[in-house]
């Protein structure tokens, strides 16, 4: 919680207004216009208990309050009490926090707590396609946000490496497969087999039965099935690693569904001991009528397991292994019912920590090229999207700055950063369509715009040969564009905290963008390098602090910050 907001709440609590401090904190607002103050408290809720109009209450409170530093005045504006932070205090405090201390915006609030973030969770023997981008990028940003606030984080790639689909792959390979062809170009070759088998299965039910047979053989350890499955997995992971390297993402665990194959019997035994399993058409279920949900199917009539069986084993293993305080599943919104059932079954098993598990849903990503379907072979490979972003960025750089050193590296940093920023720009639950022109634009609300702002700050500092915290910060308090930038930078730690509390990386993305916008307004209205004396020193210190924050914010999002563009 922002220290200034805490002070405002404490001052109001002492006025005996009939609200607890928590209620006061929940009602403090940021005014829509900076001229109205830094914080505002609306008095509408007090009218009934204090038997006065909100305007009168606001006036009385403003007169009775004596505000300490960091505030320099408080005044009423209609039904609001507005608090104004002392400008010199704010500017000096910010510059010192950013330039004299490490890791501005970091905190130790998570010390001693462990957060598991499950994300990406690609399916082996299938394409790593554009649809996986959301989970991969949102999950990585959340991991970084929690880590910045002092939590121990465990990043898990819960690979889709088990299930009937692998029975299908084994059956398809035995009918039409050629290992030399698969090794030459693994994912497209395996996709072709998968698509062909699905097409045949739609016309002939015997194909589905054969797929189920081979998955059952895989579960029971048939050497041929296990060897083929392991080959498909090894080849897939080698292909996927190129995409993760491009995105700069690493995982602490690659334990996928297959890892829990020998742990499911214990889950089923526990369900039996709790008398939770019922028979339904030969299958075994957990009835969830009391939770207003359909039954959770735990075991098919042929004895094979399902996603939820493996997820139950995975959750229990994670608790026993990591003793997590939070267990986050960054998985698409269509899987909401699955996770509701999963958490409900865990609670019925007596695991109170089920309440520490949370599904982090997100919406659909579409491409201008049209809809995708792995089953029918209509996919857009994520690696191709990333390389296309790099190539398009390289073309822009050649047109704008052909003499730029290390163009290939910068093109990769900007191209990949553009894709990540576009993904993290909106509320995660919103659907959106990926658009090339918007994503790669150096103007407006994009990653390249923020990266270019960082590079601009670096260029200014290079020409000025560095910056130091000035003794006199008056030039920054009197320059309105400079002070608006200071205010935006001052809100950066709160944006990180807010993003963590709501599991919404876009809140941080928007704050970084706001800082970049305010910097460019300051840059366009202020002769930074032509200024002299105390003004020049103050302006350069602000540029340096902004550079630090932009680089840090981009890093938390998983984006690099080039010094030249």
Catalytic residues: 126, 129, 132
Three-state secondary-structure class, residue 165:
helix
Indicate the helix (H) or strand (E) that contains 312: helix 307-322
- DSSP code for 325: S
- DSSP letter at 464? H
In angstroms, the CA 228 to CA 169 distance is 9
DSSP 50-106: HTS-HHHHHHHHHHH----TTEEEEEEETTEEEEEE-HHHHHHHHHHHHHTSSSTT-
561/565 Cα distance (integer angstroms): 10
Comparing C-alpha atoms, which of 252, 505, 244 is closest to residue 382?
244
- Burial of 484 from C-beta contacts in 10 A (0-12 / 13-18 / 19+): middle
Asked if residues 246 and 383 have their Cβ atoms less than 8 Å apart, the reply is yes
Per-residue b or e along 5-26, where b marks 16 or more CB atoms closer than 10 Å to that residue's CB: bebbbebbbeeebebeeeebbe
Q: Which of 259, 216, 220, 296 is nearest to 124 (CA)?
A: 259
Handedness of CA 435, 441, 443, 449 (dihedral sign): positive
Structure tokens at 390: 């790099």
8 Å CB contact between 89 and 70: yes
Cis ω for the linkage preceding 70 (within 30 of 0): yes
446 CB contacts (<8 Å, ≥6 apart)? 418, 421, 422, 438, 439, 440
Q: Provide the 3-class DSSP secondary structure of residue 396.
A: helix
CA distance 436 to 387: 12
Measured between alpha carbons, how far is 233 from 173 in angstroms, rounded to an integer? Answer: 14
Please tell me the distance from the alpha carbon of residue 140 to that of residue 556, in angstroms, as a whole number: 9
CA angle 90, 95, 101 (to 5 degrees): 120
Q: Count other Cβ atoms within 10 Å, centred on residue 314.
A: 24
**By C-alpha distance, which of 453, 421, 481 is closest to 551?**
453
CA atoms of 354 and 298, how far apart (whole Å): 18
């Amino acid at each position: 919680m922002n220290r200034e907001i805490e002070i405002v709440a404490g001052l109001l609590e002492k006025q005996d207004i009939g609200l607890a401090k928590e209620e006061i904190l929940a009602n403090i607002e940021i005014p829509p216009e900076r001229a109205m103050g830094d914080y505002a408290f609306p008095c509408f809720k007090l009218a009934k208990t204090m038997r006065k109009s909100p305007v009168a209450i606001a006036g009385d409170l403003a007169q009775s309050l004596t505000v300490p530093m960091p505030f320099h005045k408080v005044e009423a504006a209609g039904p609001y009490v507005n608090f104004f932070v002392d400008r010199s205090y704010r500017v000096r405090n910010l510059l010192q926090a950013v330039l004299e201390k490490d890791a501005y915006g970091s905190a130790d609030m998570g010390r001693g707590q462990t957060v598991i973030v499950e994300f990406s969770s690609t399916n082996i023997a299938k394409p790593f396609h554009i649809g996986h981008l959301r989970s991969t990028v949102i999950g990585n940003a959340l991991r970084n946000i929690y880590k910045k606030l002092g939590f121990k984080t465990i990043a898990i790639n819960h690979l889709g490496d088990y299930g009937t689909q692998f029975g299908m792959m084994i059956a398809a390979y035995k009918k039409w497969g050629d290992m030399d062809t698969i090794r030459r170009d693994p994912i497209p070759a395996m996709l072709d087999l998968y698509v062909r088998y699905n097409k045949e299965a739609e016309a002939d039910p015997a194909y589905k039965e054969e797929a189920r047979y081979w998955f059952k053989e895989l579960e029971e350890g048939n050497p041929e099935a296990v060897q083929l499955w392991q080959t498909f997995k090894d080849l897939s992971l080698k292909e996927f690693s190129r995409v993760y390297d491009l995105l700069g993402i690493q995982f602490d665990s690659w334990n996928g569904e297959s890892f829990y194959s020998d742990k499911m019997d214990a889950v089923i035994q526990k369900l039996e001991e709790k008398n939770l399993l019922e028979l339904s058409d030969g299958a075994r279920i957990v009835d969830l009528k009391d939770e207003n949900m359909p039954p959770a199917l735990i075991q098919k009539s042929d004895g094979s397991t399902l996603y939820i069986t493996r997820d139950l084993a995975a959750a229990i293993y994670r608790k026993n292994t990591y003793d997590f305080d939070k267990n986050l599943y960054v998985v698409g919104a269509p899987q909401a019912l699955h996770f509701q059932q999963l958490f409900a079954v865990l609670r019925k098993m007596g695991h109170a920590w089920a309440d520490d598990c949370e599904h982090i849903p997100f919406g659909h990503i579409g491409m201008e090229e049209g809809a995708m379907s792995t089953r029918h072979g209509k996919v857009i490979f994520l690696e191709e999207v990333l390389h296309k972003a790099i190539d398009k960025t390289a073309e822009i750089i050649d047109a704008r700055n052909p003499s730029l050193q290390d163009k290939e590296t910068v093109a990769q940093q900007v191209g990949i950063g553009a894709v990540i920023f576009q993904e993290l720009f909106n509320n995660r639950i919103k659907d959106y369509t990926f658009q090339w022109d918007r994503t790669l634009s150096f103007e407006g609300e994009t990653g390249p715009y923020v990266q270019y702002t960082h590079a601009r700050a670096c260029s200014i500092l290079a020409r000025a040969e560095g910056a130091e915290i000035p003794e006199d910060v008056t030039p920054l308090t009197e320059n309105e564009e400079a002070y608006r930038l200071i205010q935006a930078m001052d809100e950066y730690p709160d944006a990180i905290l807010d993003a963590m509390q709501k599991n919404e990386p876009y809140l941080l993305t928007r704050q970084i963008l706001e800082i970049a916008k305010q910097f460019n307004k300051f840059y366009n209205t202020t002769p930074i390098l032509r200024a002299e004396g105390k003004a020049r020193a103050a302006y350069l210190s602000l540029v340096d602090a902004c550079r630090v924050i932009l680089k840090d914010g981009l890093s938390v999002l998983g984006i690099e910050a080039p010094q030249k563009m």
